Each structure stands twice: as C-alpha cells, then as structure tokens.
Amino acid sequence: MATTSSISTVKSAWWEPRIDRAVLKGLMGRSDWPGLYFLGMWVGLLLVTGLAIHVSRGTWWVVPAVIAYGVVLGFAYAPSHECAHGTAFRTRWLNEAVLWISSFVWGESPTHRRFAHSHHHTYTWHWKLDAQMGYSNPVSLRTYLGDVIGLVEFLPRLKLTLRHARGRILERERVYLPDTQVPTLVREARILLTGYLALLAWAVIGQTWVPLLYFFIPRFAGAFGVFLFITTQHMAMNQNVYDHRQSSRSMTNSWLSRLLYWNMNYHIEHHLYPSVPFHALPALNAAIRDQLPEPSPSLLAAHLEILRTIAAQRRDPTAFAHHPLPGAPSAPPSGTGS
Amino acid sequence: MWVKLCPVDHVPDDDVVEVSCDGKLYCAYRIAGQHYVTDGLCTHQVARLAEGYVLDDIIECPMHNGRFHIPTGRVEGPPACEPLRTYRVRVEQGELEIWIDAA
C-alpha cells in the first residue's frame, strides 16, 4: 500500500489544515435533530412575524411587520444551501423535501442550486471560474450596495428560472451543468414557475392579499437581511488564491444570527470541509482554530472592513482585506491589503 | 487476473482507506464485515473519495458531496452523475485482492 499524494485533484490544490482523520470523521457525522431544531426555529419565527403582519393589517405597523417577516423568510437561503450539500439531515427524503421547499422560497431550482454551488466550492472566488461570484476585486461601492440590498437577488434568479423553463441553457452554465441534468433542470424550473403562478392566481381569483403579503412583497422587502450576511462571505477578500483562509471570511455572530444563518458565519470552516454539517462547524472551528485567522468580531465589523477595503481599492486596485494567518506577519506580503 | 491491493487488516471497519496500485487509486472498505473496493477518485470532478464520509453503505465525496453506493457504485446523489467503478474482491492469506480484467 502506498500513498499517491502526487495525484492532482480539485481539492489538493487548496490549503488544508492538520486534523486527525478520526476527529474529522466524527465531525462529518449526520443527524436529523439539529436540522429539525434549526428548521423548527425558523418556522417559529415565521409564525411570530407572520402573526405580526396579521394583527397589524390596516395600520402603518404592517410595514415593519412585513419587513421583519421578509428578513426571516429570506433566510430560506440557509436550509436550501445546507440541503443542496446534502448534509442538513441524515434522512435523505427529509433532506430532499426541505431542499425543494426552501429552494422554492429562495427562488432557484434544486439542481441549479447544487451544480452552481459545487462549482463555487471548486473555484471559490476565482474570477470568471466561480459560477456564483458575479464581481471581482476591486469592488465598487455600487456593487457592494447592490449586493447588500439584495438587488442581485430574487428578480435575476426569477429571470434565470424563466430562461431555464424555456429550455435555454447558456454556454457558461454548461461548464458546471452536465447535459444529463438539463432535462431535470428544465422540469424543476417549470415546477417552480407553476408554483409562483399558482400563488399569483390565488391572489387574483381569490381576491386576496395573502400570497402578496406573506410571500412576494416580503421576499423583496426583506431580502437585505440575509444578504447582509452573504455579502461578508468573500467580498473584498483576496481572490484567485487556493487558500480559503484568504478568500473567505468567518465572523463571530450572535445566537439568533447563527440560528437563522445555520452557522454559515463559520465560512472558512465550511469551505475547508463541505462534508462537515452546519451544526458541527463550531466544533470544527475549535479543532483547527490555531491554524485559522481571527474571525471578524461581528457583522458590523465585517461590513466596516469591506467598506475600508473598497476605499483602499480606489487608491490601490490590488488591495484586499488581509487577515493575518497564525504565525505569519501581520502586514500583507507585498504592501497590499487593508 | 487477481491483484494484491493491501493487507486486509489495513481496511478499517465501516470506513474507507485509500490504496495505490500500479499508479491507480482505489478505495477499500469494510462495511458490516464485507469487503468492497471501488475506484479512488470521484467521477464528478477529480477528488479523493477516501477523504470523504462513509455513511452505512454510501461514500460521499469530500469536495461536493456527490454520493455513491459502495457495493454497486451506483450514483446516490448529485452532483455525481457517472457511476463509480467497483471491483470483485477476495481475501487470500490476509491480503485483499481485486479482479482486474487483462488488457
């Protein structure tokens, strides 16, 4: 028996921490209960904020209620993302069912979600390779604001789904989408659109505001909530490097944020080991913390760092947010960084 | 022909070990007491399956979570689309062997 470390793989290009195989295997363990807990809390928050919409109808209080509900609804991102990895639940049908429901709310077909996101993990923020990163360093303030507000969110993805429902797949999509998956993708896009149209038909035929007040309007009005978090994952970090510690940003978040975001604030850790489920990411962090940069201390600190870097990039387009690695000098090697 | 892969006691219970033979990577498993061998690289994109996760009789790729049925190589979950090659195995004098068709 021999090892063949010389074999080049998509994973071997990336920096990996030292971690015992038995420890890692333990962290990769699957269970239904953490996912059910996080999902249950999300549904509970939807019920509470949904009730707030119900009791405030006819008053101006309905505006903040719809926004609050929309913020919670937008975090459909989290179960959709985790289920796309297939790590949310041990039970496969449960994983697939939650993937479908959360992806419907999120606005992206399960197959596109999976394949585009796989590509993102292979080429994390490698410009023109990463299928999910639509911008590059230097980042403009307009790009930042568009991302945070969620302008890159539901409508563009709805257009994408419309195109897929018509069977039109772009060349750049075929890079990550095998031909064998195209019929599935088209079928799923049509199912999603049928669902959205059914909700609209309910509103028109039933002469009711319910689908608008509890789905379409809050999806737009509250999109900024989850995007405040998603924006911090890679923006203004170093790009085109094979080290997730430099191209991804972890941050310290509150209990409620971690609950809604399914622990994706441990973003470096998630990219290092996508097979480790969301609920084990704090334990993974504890196991390899000595090899990671310090996380951003808060959501606000992460955004201030992004804004500082955007300002620095106006003077020096090669600047990026530099997170010193353990044992490395605190200044970036070539005078870049902010 | 039968080809020696590794000593059988190198294969962990309910887990996977990577084995190299003639420049090719294999994964050797012992699942519920039964030995299995598959190709060592994921069919989706080149990633070493032995770094992945074994859950019952499923191996999950460490890179993108594609899943394969270990005994048959059948695809069990995307983004994997192509089945994984599996091999006939036997244990001879403490060695795990696989059957490879003569070229």
Facing residue for B62 by CB, picked from A3, A115, A275: A275
Judged by CB atoms closer than 8 Å, whether chains meet at A275 and B53 is answered as yes
- What residues contact B36, with CB distance under 8 A and at least 6 apart? B28, B29, B30, B70, B71, B86, B89
Mean pLDDT of all residues belonging to chain A: 92
Helices (H), ranges, chain A:
21-27, 33-56, 62-74, 77-85, 92-106, 110-122, 141-149, 154-165, 171-174, 182-205, 210-211, 217-221, 223-230, 244-247, 255-261, 267-272, 281-288, 299-315
Is pLDDT of A48 > 90?
A: yes
Closest chain A C-alpha to B47 CA, distance in angstroms = 5
> What's residue B9's pLDDT?
93
Contact A125, A239 (CB under 8 A): yes
For residue range A196-232, what is the model confidence (pLDDT) as tens digits?
A: 999 999 999 999 999 999 999 999 999 999 999 999 9
CA B15 from chain centre, in angstroms, equals: 10
Confidence band for A188, pLDDT divided at 50, 70 and 90: very high
Closest chain A C-alpha to B11 CA, distance in angstroms = 11
> What's residue A152's pLDDT?
64
Confidence band for A307, pLDDT divided at 50, 70 and 90: very high
How many other C-beta atoms lie within 10 A of the C-beta of residue A108? 26
Which residue positions in chain B have pLDDT lower than 70?
103
**At A307, phi and psi to the nearest 5?**
-65, -40
Between CA A25 and CA A18 the distance in angstroms is 14
Mutate to test the interface with A, among B5, B46, B64 (most CBs of A within 10 A): B64
Facing residue for B60 by CB, picked from A4, A115, A275: A275
> What's residue A10's pLDDT?
66
- What residues contact B93, with CB distance under 8 A and at least 6 apart? none
Contact B61, A274 (CB under 8 A): no
- A-chain residues within 8 Å CB-CB of B25? 4, 7
For residue range A106-137, what is the model confidence (pLDDT) as tens digits?
A: 999 999 999 999 999 999 998 888 888 888 89
Give me Rg for the CA atoms of chain A: 21
- In A, minimum Cα distance to B51 occurs at A21
**pTM score, whole prediction:** 0.92
> What's residue A332's pLDDT?
55
> What's residue A4's pLDDT?
46
CA B93 from chain centre, in angstroms, equals: 21
In chain A, % of residues over pLDDT 90: 83
- A-chain residues within 8 Å CB-CB of B53? 25, 28, 275
Nearest to A71 by CA among A100, A42, A34: A42
Closest chain A C-alpha to B64 CA, distance in angstroms = 6
Contact A25, B15 (CB under 8 A): yes
- B-chain residues within 8 Å CB-CB of A20? none
Give the pair of three-digit tokens for residue B20: 């190299």
Confidence band for A2, pLDDT divided at 50, 70 and 90: very low
For residue range B9-18, what is the model confidence (pLDDT) as tens digits?
A: 999 999 999 9
